[in-house]
């Protein structure tokens, strides 16, 4: 084949151009640390990268859901603990008062204690977390219980609905428990039981009238309400555990998904640097060979 000057020039240019392109690409990968900078670099890889980025965003959001829900449940848990303690106090007072040797002044003292417990319990029932009433069901903007004139002494002003928050793609956790259940307005403590406030009022009435039988009969109601609160608390505890578990899964998932994303998007740095070095060598070789080849001509030998 006949070789001409322009063919030599063209070939040299082509080789230098290819070497430059390779060097530029190697520099981009080494400098950015990214294997994929645009979709056409690796189409399936880009699809995987977008899916993983979306999944990581979801994981961040679910982790955020856990972070936001946990204090709400913690507040609920501590309110329930306080309620259980209050009921236990009522039980203690009721048992102590159910004794014929108790004087009137002591009974009056018990009544004052019961009034104070009722007040505290009403405050606890209307516990708020970030302006949300935690025991009002989904009517979180209004108090759970409101005092009223006639029996029962308090009325439940929330609803029976519950709010669930997604903590994993396949798990959602209840972030509250409606007051109707906790305060036993719905009779969930069992047949023959009353709501917590009526229960205290009944005990108060019995102590005031000195009716020991009536006091004794309230002990079953008190125990049922106590058990009901404990049951609610154990549920909340289980949800808190589920949140912790979900957080662990999300942390683990985030690590794994980040690693997968890195595998898809990021360059293997040692490999990228070696490739860059190779491309630099190729470029230098292309320049050197081209400059040497261009110097060879019969014209330079002809005197």
Which residues bind to other proteins, rule: CB under 8 A?
1-7, 9-11, 14, 36, 38-41, 43, 46-47, 49-51, 53-54, 57-58, 60-62, 64-65, 68-69, 130-132, 136-141, 159, 161, 163-166, 172, 175-176, 265, 297-299, 302
User: Residue 89: is the preceding peptide bond cis (ω within 30°)?
Assistant: no
Closest distance of CB 109 from other proteins, Å: 40
215/98 Cα distance (integer angstroms) = 6
Closest distance of CB 155 from other proteins, Å: 17
207/199 Cα distance (integer angstroms) = 12
Closest distance of CB 129 from other proteins, Å: 10
Closest distance of CB 234 from other proteins, Å: 23
User: Around 111, how many Cα atoms within 13 Å sit in the side-chain half-sphere?
Assistant: 15
Q: Is 196 or 264 the residue whose CB approaches other proteins more closely?
A: 264
Whether 145 and 126 have beta carbons less than 8 Å apart is answered as yes
Q: Kindly provide the residue ranges of all beta strands, DSSP E only, lying in 66-168, ordered along the sequence.
A: 128-129, 132-133, 145-147, 154-156, 164-168
76/155 Cα distance (integer angstroms) = 20
Q: Is 68 or 95 the residue whose CB approaches other proteins more closely?
A: 68
Q: Which of 263, 255, 278 is nearest to 36 (CA)?
A: 263
Closest distance of CB 163 from other proteins, Å: 5
Q: Is 63 or 200 the residue whose CB approaches other proteins more closely?
A: 63
Residues paired with residue 168 on neighbouring β-strands, in sequence order: 171
Q: Is 8 or 89 the residue whose CB approaches other proteins more closely?
A: 8
Closest distance of CB 299 from other proteins, Å: 5
Q: Is 118 or 175 the residue whose CB approaches other proteins more closely?
A: 175
Q: Is 149 or 302 the residue whose CB approaches other proteins more closely?
A: 302
Whether 229 and 76 have beta carbons less than 8 Å apart is answered as no
């Amino acid at each position: 084949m006949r070789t001409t000057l322009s063919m030599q020039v063209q070939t040299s240019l082509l080789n230098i151009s290819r070497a430059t392109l390779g060097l530029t690409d190697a520099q981009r990968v080494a400098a950015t640390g990214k294997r994929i900078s645009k979709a056409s670099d690796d189409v399936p890889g880009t699809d995987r990268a977008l899916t993983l980025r979306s999944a990581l965003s979801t994981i961040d959001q679910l982790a955020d859901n856990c972070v936001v829900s946990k204090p709400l449940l913690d507040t609920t848990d501590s309110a329930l603990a306080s309620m259980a303690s209050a009921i236990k106090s009522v039980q203690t007072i009721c048992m102590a008062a159910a004794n014929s040797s108790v004087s009137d002044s002591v009974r009056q003292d018990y009544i004052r204690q019961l009034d104070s417990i009722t007040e505290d319990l009403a405050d606890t029932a209307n516990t708020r977390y970030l302006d949300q009433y935690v025991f009002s069901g989904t009517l979180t903007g209004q108090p759970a219980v409101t005092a009223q004139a006639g029996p029962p002494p308090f009325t439940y002003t929330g609803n029976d609905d519950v709010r669930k928050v997604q903590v994993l793609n396949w798990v959602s956790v209840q972030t509250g428990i409606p007051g109707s259940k906790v305060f036993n307005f719905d009779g969930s403590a069992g047949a023959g039981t009353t709501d917590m406030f009526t229960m205290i009022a009944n005990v108060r009435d019995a102590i005031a009238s000195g009716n020991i039988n009536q006091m004794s009969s309230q002990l079953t109601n008190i125990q049922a309400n106590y058990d009901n609160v404990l049951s609610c608390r154990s549920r909340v505890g289980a949800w808190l555990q589920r949140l912790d578990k979900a957080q662990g899964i999300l942390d683990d998932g985030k690590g794994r998904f980040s690693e997968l994303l890195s595998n898809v998007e990021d360059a293997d740095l040692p490999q990228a640097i070696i490739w860059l070095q190779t491309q630099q060598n190729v470029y230098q070789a292309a320049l050197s060979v081209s400059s040497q080849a261009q110097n060879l001509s019969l014209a330079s030998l002809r005197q």
